[in-house]
Amino acid sequence: MKENAFKWRAMRLGVACFGLCLAGCIKSQETDRPEARVRAGWDNYRRGEYSTALKDFQYAVAHTPQKSATQLAALYGEATIWHLRRPDEDLVRAALLYRQIIECAPTSNEAAWSWLGLARIKALPIDGENSELQSQLDAYQAVIDRFPFHPAGEESFLMQQAAKLDVWDVNRTREVLAALQHFVKTHPQSPWLSAAYDLMAHCGTVLGMPDLRLDAAIQSWKNAEIDPANPIRDFSWTYWKLATIAEFEVGDFEMAREYFHKFIKESPADQKVFIAKQELKRMADLENRVQAERAVP
C-alpha cells in the first residue's frame, strides 16, 4: 500500500516535471524563432547591448533560408551594429555586409537602407574633421539614382544638399537651391517637404534673398507633419522664426506682428516673450517716426 502511494506520488512528480520541461521548450522555441531574434536584436541595440544584439542577428542569419526577408533584415541589423557600435566598430565589415545585402536583393527595402548606410560611413567625420565632400556626394548620389522615391533615397538627397551647405559657398548654394526647387516639384507627396523647404530657407539667407527665405519658411511650416498620436503640435518656434524674418529681413511689419502675437499666445512663459513685446513696440515706434517725418513739410 505504502509502496503504491510512493509510486503514485513519483509518477505525479514526473508528469509535473515533464509538463514544466515542455512549457520551457515551447517558450524557448518561441524566443528562438529567427523573426523574434531580429526583434530582440533591435531591442538590445536600442539598449546599447551591442554584443547581445549581434548574437541575435547572427543567430537569425544562420537559421533562415538564404536571401529570405528575415535573413536580409538580420544581415542589415548586423551591418548596422558594426557600423554604429561604439567602441569596437568595424566599418570594413559593416560595408561588406551592406554590400552583401545589396548583392542578394538589389531592389529590396534593406538594399535601399544599405546604400544609405554606405553613404553614412563615407560621411563620418575623421577626428572631428569633415570627410572629403566629393566622395560623400557620390555616395549619396548612388542611393538617389537607384531609389529616387524610396524614403532612403529622399533622405539621401536632403543629406547630400545639407553636406553641400556645410561651408558658405554662394555658387554651390545656388546649385542646392535649384536642386531643392526641383525636388519639391517632383516629390509633391514626400514627407520630407518641410525639411526641404527649411534647407531652401537657409539658401535664401546665404544668397541674400529674404523673400525667398520667408516663403520657404512658411512652406516648411505648412508642410510640417502632424503626428496623429500627438495632434497638438507646438509651433511657437516657427511663429518666432517667421516673425523675425518678416521684421528684420523682409520689412513686412504686418506679418511680423501677426506671428509675434501668435508666438506670445502659444508660449506665454517663454523667455522670448519679452523680446517679442519689445519688438512690437519698436516696429510701432519706427512707423510713427516715419509718419512724423512725412508730416514735416
Partner 1 sequence: MSAAPLAFIKRNYALLVVSAAFLWSGLAILCSRHQEIPAKNAIVLRLGHWQLEAGVREAFSAMAAKYHELHPDVTIIQDAVPETTYGQWMSTQLMGGTSPDILEVGNGLPYNVLLGYYNRYFLTMTAAVNQPNPYNKGTELENVPWRKTYKDTMRSVYVEEMQEYMRIPLSQFGIRIFYNKDLLKRLTGRTEPPGEYRDFLEVCRQIRAQRDALGKPYTPIAGSAFHVTMWDMMMFDPRTYGALRRLDFNHDGAVGNDELFVGLKTGRIDFSFPSFEAKFRMLRQVTSQFQTGFTGLGRDEAVFLFAQQRAVFMSTGTWDVGSLYEQARGAFNVGIMDFPIPTPDDPEFGAISEGPVYDLPLVGFAFAVPRTCKHPEVALDFLRFLGSQRGNEELNRVIGWIPAVKGTRVSPMLEPFNPHLEGIFPCMPVTLGGETSIKWQQLHSLYQVNQISYSQLVSEFLPFYLDHGDKEWDEMRRNARRGLARDDQFLAGMRAMAEGAAADEATTRWIKYRQMVASRILSRGLNWALLQKRLAEGVVTNAVAPYEFSPAVITKVRNRLRASEPSAAGSSQQKERL
Cβ 105 to partner 1, closest distance in Å? 15
Q: For residue 129, what is the DSSP state? A: B
Work out the number of other CB atoms within 10 angstroms of the CB of residue 146. Answer: 17
Provide CB contacts within 8 A for 259, sequence distance 6+: 239, 240, 242, 243, 246
Q: Identify any residues that bridge with 126 across adjacent strands, giving them in sequence order.
A: 129
- Min dist CB 24 to partner 1, Å, is 21
Q: Which is nearer to partner 1, 149 or 248 (CB)?
A: 248
Q: For 48, left (φ over 0), alpha (ψ -120 to 50), or beta?
A: left
Helix then strand count (H, E) for the chain reads 14, 0
Kindly calculate the radius of gyration of the chain based on its CA atoms and give it in whole angstroms: 29
16 versus 287: smaller Cβ distance to partner 1: 287
Q: How far apart are CA 273 and CA 293, in angstroms?
A: 30
Q: Which residue, 10 or 170, is less far from partner 1 as judged by CB? A: 170
Quick one: 4 or 291, whose CB is closer to partner 1? 291
Gap between the Cα atoms of 103 and 93, Å rounded = 15
**Smallest gap, in angstroms, from Cβ of residue 1 to partner 1?**
38
Nearer to partner 1, 26 or 296 (CB): 296
Nearer to partner 1, 14 or 48 (CB): 48
For residue 74, give the nearest of 120, 105, 48, 119 by alpha carbon: 105
Least distance to partner 1, CB of residue 164, Å: 10
DSSP assigned state of 250: I
CA distance 149 to 190: 8
Query: Shortest Cβ distance from residue 120 to partner 1 (Å)?
Result: 6
| Closest distance of CB 292 from partner 1, Å | 11
- Give whichever of 3 and 227 is closer to partner 1, judged by the CB atom: 227
Min CB(152)–partner 1 separation in Å: 9
Q: How far is the CB of 173 from partner 1 (least distance, A)?
A: 9
Residue 25 or 231 with smaller CB distance to partner 1: 231
> Which of 207, 218, 142, 224 minimizes the C-alpha distance to 171?
207
Q: Which residues of 149-180 are buried (b: 16+ CB within 10 A; e: fewer)?
A: ebebbbbbbbbbbbbbbeeeeeebbeebbebb
